[in-house]
Structure 1
Amino acid sequence: MTTEPWNTDTPKVITLPSGRRIRGRGLRYDMPEGQTPTLAVHLTDHRPPAPPWESLWIPWRDFWLPTDPAEAMRTLRTAYDRAADERVEICCGGGVGRTGTALSALCVFEGMDPKEAVKWVRQNYHSRAVEVFWQRRFIRQVAGANGSGQP
């Protein structure tokens, strides 16, 4: 399925080095006007209400790690792969820590070193992305899975 990509002026949309565009968002805030995602990945401790588009859920408490890191990596890989030709959104409560961690994982899928991935997301998405040490450790785990970020 190929859809029109995210507009580059859409708030919180970042363009990865590969050209994939991903939107990060906080679920506590109103839905931005304009384009809607074709796939949303929710990073929350409880399953959120289903949006009118396809969504995936990664059980993930605020300031912590995914309940099942291997499954989270597989779901994030799906989001990354689909972002090549779909409008993918990754979101948590505030749109900073968990969302930033997931976006950093996508950067690792692009081939970035984990430290560079965090730095890149902080520069291009939110300065406080990846809020705690263990979230940075999760990004290193992503890099170590199969040596290429692929679970």
Structure 2
Amino acid sequence: MRKPLTGATRLPDGVQIRGRGLRRPAPGGPVPDFAVYLGSARLRRRHQAALLWPHEWIRWPDFLLPLDRHAAARSITHLHDRARSGEAVEVACDGGVGRTGTVMACLATLTGLSPHDAVTWTREHYHHRAIETPWQRRWVAWFAAHTGS
């Protein structure tokens, strides 16, 4: 098992995943083994050259929901699986709060928390303003229902 990334959050199941905002410099220390990034084509163009490790993008407009919710759910579940296997992983959007917080709450449902408890947990342990919109809160519930968490 590799050392966790600087700034990683420990999920309720002990798995560590770093959430962050791409608009701020990456924390020092090791780079991720794998990452999932959330954003538009414009955000991808702005940051793609600096992301030198294996990663994928979920098309997810700011303050909204992923454009392909089923593909996003698969990517989030895959990210958790990779972290559980010992890889150092991160998830990030531009600011690191709304979309990234929503994914952190989804990840928390994979550890057994209810969607409501996952949102509360994420706001307490990741960022106090995480999951910024009512539809992002509802999407955490959709994710949990469709992934069997």
Same fold judged by TM-score > 0.5?
Answer: yes
Gapped regions of structure 2 (runs ≥ 5): none
Alignment-derived partner of residue 145 in structure 2? 144
Gapped regions of structure 1 (runs ≥ 5): none
Alignment-derived partner of residue 32 in structure 2? 37
Report the Cα distance in structure 1 between the residues aligned to 2:82 and 2:113, rounded to whole angstroms: 19
Alignment-derived partner of residue 49 in structure 1? 48
Report the Cα distance in structure 2 between the residues aligned to 1:14 and 1:129, rounded to whole angstroms: 13
Give the letter for the 2:76 counterpart.
L
Report the Cα distance in structure 2 between the residues aligned to 1:59 and 1:42, rounded to whole angstroms: 9
Report the Cα distance in structure 1 between the residues aligned to 2:109 and 2:40, rounded to whole angstroms: 24
Report the Cα distance in structure 2 between the residues aligned to 1:142 and 1:71, rounded to whole angstroms: 11
Match of 1:49, SS?
A: helix
Alignment-derived partner of residue 124 in structure 1? 125
Give the letter for the 1:42 counterpart.
Y
1:5 to 3, 7, 15: 3
Give the letter for the 2:22 counterpart.
L
| CA apart distance, 1:5 | 2.9
More helix by share: 2
Give the letter for the 1:6 counterpart.
P
Report the Cα distance in structure 2 between the residues aligned to 1:114 and 1:79, rounded to whole angstroms: 18
**Aligned partners of 1:5 and 1:21 also within 8 Å:** no
Query: Would you identify which runs of 4 or more consecutive aligned residues in structure 1 move more than 2 Å?
Result: none
Q: Show the 5 A alignment for 1:51-130.
A: 51-84=51-84, 85-130=86-131
TM-score normalised by structure 2 residue count: 0.92
| CA apart distance, 1:21 | 0.3
Alignment-derived partner of residue 134 in structure 2? 133
Report the Cα distance in structure 2 between the residues aligned to 1:31 and 1:80, rounded to whole angstroms: 21
**Aligned partners of 1:38 and 1:54 also within 8 Å:** yes
TM-score normalised by structure 1 residue count: 0.90
Match of 1:83, SS?
A: helix
Report the Cα distance in structure 1 between the residues aligned to 2:48 and 2:87, rounded to whole angstroms: 21
Give the letter for the 1:116 counterpart.
D
